[in-house]
């Protein structure tokens, strides 16, 4: 039970990679807060998982673009659970549009959720973890945090920012007992890909030397490692979990 007695917050925890990460932590003995938007499936998922596992599973509504909501998420989680040992900074959205056509509103929305939101959550987590003397923050970056891709200016800018933000936070936080790392997923088989036709889907599969898309639980396993004491000497890392996608592109 690698997370026995630990309390975890997962943003974007109501579906996909986030939900898989919530369940893996519960399987390893943690209590977990699902943080997601009001109106998401988070409340139902938390109730379902709370009945299944020994650790508590709670839902807290949180929009990561709102500093007050983020700060309240941590204050309420500490009030109910007593501490926060690990955070998966996972909330994010996609965005595909030619750079000469993307509007200010579209560009800034992606940046505010995928980069500024990561900072808001990390800042709130650091304040709690500094006070309690330790913890682990894992930011969800991307393969597109290390190289470019056409028509993804806002997304690649945000994810590249997450990678370097992670390094900077890791340097600051290490002397205070807090580790900060990032995960760079390849293309993962989640509901976000359901809108793609078969040709496009197979095209994505072909970009991964391992011959398939990733599964949400494979990213969850990487989060579990980085969040746990098994990764006690790992900080400032960007762990690529991408089926070899970036191996020939670096």
- Active-site pick, 53, 107, 130, 155: 155
What is the edge-to-edge ordering of all strands in the sheet holding 7-11?
57-61, 31-36, 7-11, 86-89, 135-140, 178-185, 238-241
Per this entry, what is the length of the chain? 250
* Tally of CB atoms within 10 A around 59: 23
155 belongs to the catalytic site: yes
Q: How many CB atoms lie within 10 A of CB 244?
A: 14
Task: Give the C-alpha distances (Å, rounded to integers) separating 25 from 90, 108, 126, 218.
Answer: 14, 33, 20, 13
Which residues are catalytically annotated? Answer: 155
């Amino acid at each position: 039970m690698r997370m026995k007695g630990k309390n975890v917050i997962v943003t974007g925890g109501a579906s996909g990679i986030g939900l898989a990460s919530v369940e893996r932590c519960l399987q390893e003995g943690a209590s977990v807060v699902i943080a997601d938007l009001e109106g998401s499936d988070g409340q139902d998922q938390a109730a379902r998982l709370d009945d299944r596992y020994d650790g508590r599973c709670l839902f807290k509504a949180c929009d990561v673009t709102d500093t007050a909501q983020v700060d309240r998420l941590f204050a309420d989680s500490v009030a109910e659970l007593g501490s926060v040992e690990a955070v998966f900074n996972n909330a994010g959205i996609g965005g595909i549009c030619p750079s000469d056509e993307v509007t200010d509103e579209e560009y800034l929305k992606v940046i505010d959720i995928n980069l500024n939101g990561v900072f808001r959550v990390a800042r709130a987590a650091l304040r709690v973890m500094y006070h309690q003397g330790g913890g682990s923050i894992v930011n969800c970056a991307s393969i597109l945090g290390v190289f470019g891709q056409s028509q993804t200016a806002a997304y690649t800018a945000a994810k590249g920012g997450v990678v370097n933000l992670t390094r900077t936070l890791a340097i600051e936080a290490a002397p205070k007992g807090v580790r900060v790392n990032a995960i760079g997923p390849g293309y993962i088989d989640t509901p976000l890909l359901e809108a793609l036709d078969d040709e496009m889907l197979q095209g994505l599969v072909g970009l991964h030397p391992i011959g398939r898309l990733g599964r949400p639980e494979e990213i969850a396993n990487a989060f579990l490692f980085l969040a746990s004491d098994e990764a006690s000497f790992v900080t400032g890392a960007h762990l690529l979990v991408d089926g070899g996608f970036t191996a020939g592109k670096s």
